[in-house]
A = this chain, B = another copy of it.
Amino acid sequence: MAHLTDQEIAAKADIQPIEDIAAKAGIPNEALELHGKHKAKVDIHELEGDESNSKIVLVSAMNPTPAGEGKSTVTVGLSDAFNKLEKNVMVALREPSLGPVMGVKGGATGGGQAQVLPMEEINLHFNGDLHAITTANNALSAFIDNHIHHGNKLNIDPRRVSWKRVLDMNDRALRQVVVGLGGPSRGVPREDGFDITVASEIMAVLCLATDIIDLKEKLGEMVIGYTYDRKPVTAKELEVEGALALLLKEAIKPNLVQTMEGTPALIHGGPFANIAHGCNSLIATNTARKLADIVVTECGFGSDLGGEKFMNIKSRKGGFQPDAIVLVATIRALKMNGGVAKADLGEANVDALKEGIANLGKHIENARKFGVEPVVALNDFVTDTDEERNFVLDWCKDQGVRVALTQVWEKGGEGGVDLANQVLEVLEEPQEFKHLYELDLPIDQKIETIVKEVYGGDGVILADKAKKQLAEIEANGFGNLPVCMAKSQYSLSDDPSKLGRPEGFTVTVRELNVKAGAGFVVALTGDIMTMPGLPKKPSAVNMDVDADGTSRGLF
């Protein structure tokens, strides 16, 4: 199979009518809004069921290589393995963002025999959720500039509009712009910038809201900037939270699709984990909990990013907890963490593995700090050698942590049965989940807790700008919000070159931005960009479509 692309494998799959998948998931017809033959939105008002008996399996990972370690693939394959074991299972995933699809990745729906279908539609526009978020975000920008243009009754300081525009695109030229040029008929000139849509506060709000009314309230609470006398201005003061919620009334409904083995999948919401909170929507997770005994869900990048945010932000809002954590590791990533250059990752190197495995060790420790027992999923690659595999498996056993070789890319659910069985063992055990900090801890101490406990660093340095912002945030009454760290995914520290298990480092926070609607404070560290760029040869140049609508180049 290795010579086929993911897209070619997906095209050969036996895709079922989405009505059949819905029936299998226990979704009644009244709750189903079809989008073509293989996708649907789910009207959650029409669902019954008790969320409290469901178990959540959270798929997290070690620090990855730039190519990624197949976390989505393992998440899909693990759910197919549960399906094979005749468990009542659903998988909840994030929606792909078009920017990376057109830029580097080409697609983001798992791989090999562990994919969600229909991969083309999920990778392209899906059911319009990201476009609705883009639209609502930019409508708010237009309302802000329009308010300033028409007399500025709210006394908004054009230099302190913190609400940025967004596009679901990798477009570095929009990172820093000046708008409103060209004279009085063209608005008030000011500096602005575009983020990628997944970094929009509205994405976070949609992913953390419990229903449309909660969504509307959170939208109203979003801080869009500050007055000349430094008071925060909210979307509610512009009287547009109703319009924004209206623009999102379809986007808030979770999307039902299927895995290649017919496991029901909900794909909904997609904030990046390095610049946002990195989890699929609370609504999708809760919908899956209503319908299934086991919910498999992923969070972005490592346990230091999406993992930490799942526990400290999403679980807290949702009032639930992960009942088991899967940590995806690969021999490639372990070797990279042991100092091997990207170009040499295909070569066997047990010495580098021995160095790099400390990275995995820290992620195992992190899961246990949250009180949840991890299972390591060693995601198999064709370049791995038996000696390397055995080293990792033995090391895990020595450490007293469950481990399974996972071959879902090659074999689908069958390749994840060992992993599934070990996860089932954990699910049988009581876990003592805890958040790592309480909300009444001051913001800087919350950050310090994350840095010390999760990253393994010595402490935090707040840049002068961040210090000023911290004082403002506390003065404005936002000090009791949790923290959403924006940090490199490649290192446990804020320096992407510090691989393995770095020690003796501090993390520098250069900016603190309150997201009062989403309900967290973003701490920006390092060079983290909220708008990616395209590579010299974007994957778009390989894309095409045939006369019959068949798509090409979505690998």
Contacts and interface: CB of A to CB of B under 8 A. Distances in A.
Interface in A126-145: 127-128, 131-132, 134-135, 138-139, 141-143, 145
Given A169-B138, A186-B175, A240 B547 contact: no
A237 to B, nearest CB: 11
Contacts of A167: 138
Given A139-B540, A180-B173, A545 B186 contact: no
A26 interface: no
Contacts of A358: none
Interface stretch (A244-252, A416-424, A447-455): A244-252
A441 interface: no
A238 B238 CA distance: 42
A128 to B, nearest CB: 4
Contact of A181 (B34, B178, B213): B178
A124 interface: yes
Q: Which of A37, A43, A167, A212 has the most CB of B within 10 A?
A: A167
A212 to B, nearest CB: 6
A547 B132 CA distance: 18
Interface stretch (A51-59, A363-371, A531-539): A531-539
A545 B245 contact: yes
A216 interface: yes
Interface string A136-163: 0011011101100111000000000000
Contacts of A178: 177-178, 181
Interface in A240-266: 240, 242-243, 245-247, 249-250
Interface in A287-310: none
Interface in A24-53: 33-37, 41, 43, 45
A475 interface: no
A250 B151 CA distance: 42
Nearest to A102: B139
A541 interface: yes
Contacts of A125: 128, 131-132, 135, 247, 250
A211 interface: yes
A176 interface: yes
Interface string A92-131: 0000001000100000000000000000010011011001
Interface string A182-195: 10011110000000
Contacts of A467: none
A538 B247 CA distance: 15
B544 A245 contact: yes
A170 to B, nearest CB: 6
A551 B139 CA distance: 17
A283 to B, nearest CB: 13
Contact of A149 (B35, B121, B173): B173
A401 interface: no
B102 A544 contact: no
A135 B127 CA distance: 14
B128 A145 contact: no
A121 B253 CA distance: 14
Contact of A545 (B98, B150, B249, B551): B249
A545 B241 CA distance: 10
B181 A186 contact: no
Interface string A508-534: 000000000000000000000000011
Given A128-B125, A131-B125, A142-B173, A212 B249 contact: no
B128 A142 contact: no
Nearest to A534: B146
A442 interface: no
A174 interface: yes
A186 B172 contact: yes
A471 interface: no
Contacts of A168: 135
Given A186-B173, A187-B173, A98 B135 contact: yes
B169 A139 contact: yes
B179 A174 contact: yes
A175 B145 CA distance: 12
B150 A172 contact: no
A247 B168 CA distance: 13
Contacts of A232: none
A549 interface: yes
A383 to B, nearest CB: 30
Contacts of A11: none
8 contacts: A102-B142, A149-B172, A175-B187, A177-B179, A185-B533, A238-B541, A242-B544, A242-B552
Interface of A: 33-37, 41, 43, 45, 98, 102, 121, 124-125, 127-128, 131-132, 134-135, 138-139, 141-143, 145-146, 149-151, 167-182, 185-188, 211-213, 216, 238-240, 242-243, 245-247, 249-250, 533-534, 536, 538, 540-541, 543-549, 551-553
